Every structure is written in C-alpha cells, then in structure tokens.
Amino acid sequence: MEKQDVIIVTDPGVDDATALMYAIFCGQINIKLLAVAGGNGPISNAVNNTLFLMELFRQDIPIAVGLDHPLKRPPVYALNAQGKGGLGGLKVNPKKLKTKPIETPAKDAIYDILKSSKKKLPIIAIGPMTSVAEMLLEHPDAKNYIKEIIFMGGTKEKIYGRPYREFNISFDPECVDIVIKSDIPLVMIPMELGHFAYLDKEDIKRFKHTNKIGKIYAKMFKKYYDFHVGHLGAAVHDVCAIYYLTNPQCMKMEEGHVELKYYKDEKEKFGYIDTSYDKKPNALIAVDMDISDFKYDLFETLKAAGEILNTHKN
C-alpha cells in the first residue's frame, strides 16, 4: 500500500502524542512536516515535546515552529488538562534533546511542502490552526495545493443550552474563521468522538504491559485529565483525526455547514463552531465511529511501534 503524504499541525499534548505514534507506525502515512503550535502549552513546551517524541521514535521528520500566541489574542493554555509540561505525567528535559527544529517558520514551511508536492496534500490539524491561517493570508494560492483540511475541534454538544468551549477552536477562533472561509474542503472531527473512543483503565493497563513505548504512554496518561472522561481514563481525541484518513470506512460522516461564531455572557466570550444542516454544506462532519476497530488498530500500531524500534535498535 502506498503511504499518504500529509502535513500535521500539532501542539503536544498527550492526545497529540498518541496521534503522532499512531500516524508514524500505522504504516499508511508519510509525514512530510510537523508544524508545531502553541496551545496545550507554551510553544517552547510544544516544540520540546515534539522533538522528544521524534527522537523516541527515531524519526527525522522536519519540525517547524509557529507563533507563540494566537493571531489576535493572548494565549490561554490547557495546562490543567495536559500537565505543566504538556505530556501528563512524563517530563521532558530539554537539555537532553539532540535535535532542533528547522529555521523556516511553520507558515512558510507548510507552503513550501505544499507547493513542491506533485499531488495535493491533506493537512491534519490536531492543534490550533494559527500557522495554516497565517499561510493562507500570506500565500492565497496555497489553497490550490491542499486536498483537504482534517481538523480535530469543535463540538455539537451544548451544555444547558449554550455552546461548549472546545479548546482547539476557542484558543484561536480568528484563525479558524480564516480556514473555514477559505473554501478548502473541510473534515471536522468533533470533540465528542474522543469521548466515544477514550481509553479506559483496562486499556491503559494494556498500554503499560505491551512494550516500552506503552509504558511511556501509560505514564503520560496517569496525569492527563479530560474534563468529560475524568478519572474513567484518557480521551484520545486527536487520534480520531488521523484515523479518519487511514480508516474512513470505520467513521460515520454527514455533510453539514460549519461556521465560526462567538458566545458571550456576563462571564466570558469565546469562539465556537456552529454546525447546521439547513445551509449549504461546506464540511464533512464525523458523527460516530467503530470503537472496537479503533482500539484494535491503535493497539496493533502500538505493538508495531515496539517491534520496529527494537529491530532498529538491534
């Protein structure tokens, strides 16, 4: 099977880290670039975490650095959910890192990869899309080289009748608005898929006992807190976005209309994605997935990661 070339926008993040492991070792994806964003933590944490993961996996994928803040607002990070360093219970020591990101800024690196590709490429955004929006503003022709943008973000859930403040969208809503209005084909993987596909305590034990990579992830999961799943386990929202590309037959999709809106009350104002089905469709929206197949494939990939890395070591 020929691997699919992709660009991934990420801000590791425990669920990002799980998604990157799956993307690298599932055997179906060739990552041309990792564009790192601030979000789950400051950009320095996100970059160090990405470098750590690529060194752990013995990958030489180019890592490009984006802005350390959203387009038009100060950053508000997700440290309560991801831990101070971003990888839950795992701490990365920057002094032990042997590699560095490339010098080209993420917005330009994404454009360069797109323009040099023989085919249109998908962009998978499992972190804030700030660099994608920057690129579209500076290089309007970039949309001619993008097959689709698959993004994990937004939700159809409402809490007591009000929109839910999903992190990837509310962190930088202005960039989301630019991406949605670009007329690039969109695939929305909403937050609730990660709540369907969360790893329960038995799954986490299985991670721990599978191999050395699994033990590292189990340590991450130990201090990773999703406010919907809570102590039941670890929600791996971002893996769902990668899984759509590798196993679309396991996802139930609907055509719908998405747009960026703002919610404001006496306490706060935030951006969110409004989904509707009575307007002209501009996106595919994931509404369900086969959880048993998803978990099977995730654990098979974890086993493959251990075998591949052991082979390279020997």
**Residue 55 corresponds to which tokens in the numbers above?**
């060194």
Count the neighbouring beta carbons within 10 Å of the beta carbon of residue 82. Answer: 29
The helix or strand, by DSSP H or E, that contains position 246, with its residue range, turns out to be helix 237-246
Span 4-313 CATH architecture: Alpha-Beta Complex (3.90)
Per-residue pLDDT in tens (0 to 9) along the chain, 314 residues: 689 999 999 999 899 999 999 999 999 999 999 999 998 889 999 999 999 999 999 999 999 999 989 999 999 988 777 878 789 889 999 999 999 999 999 999 999 999 999 999 999 999 999 999 999 999 999 999 999 999 999 998 777 778 988 999 999 999 999 999 999 999 999 999 988 888 999 999 999 999 999 999 999 988 887 766 667 788 899 999 999 999 999 999 999 999 999 999 878 889 999 999 999 999 999 999 999 999 999 999 999 999 999 876 65
- The residues spanned by each domain of the chain are 4-313
Distance CA 304, CA 252 (A): 27
Distance CA 274, CA 177 (A): 11
Q: What separation in angstroms does the CA of 51 have from each of 41, 124, 261? A: 15, 19, 35
pTM over 0.75: yes
Q: Are 251 and 286 in contact (CB under 8 A)?
A: yes
> What pLDDT, in 10s, does the model give residues 87-104?
988 999 999 999 999 999
> What pLDDT, in 10s, does the model give residues 188-247?
999 999 888 889 999 999 999 999 999 999 999 888 877 666 677 888 999 999 999 999
Helix (H, G, I), strand (E, B) or coil at 83: coil
The helix or strand, by DSSP H or E, that contains position 20, with its residue range, turns out to be helix 14-25
Q: What separation in angstroms does the CA of 190 have from each of 14, 19, 151, 185, 268? A: 17, 15, 8, 16, 22
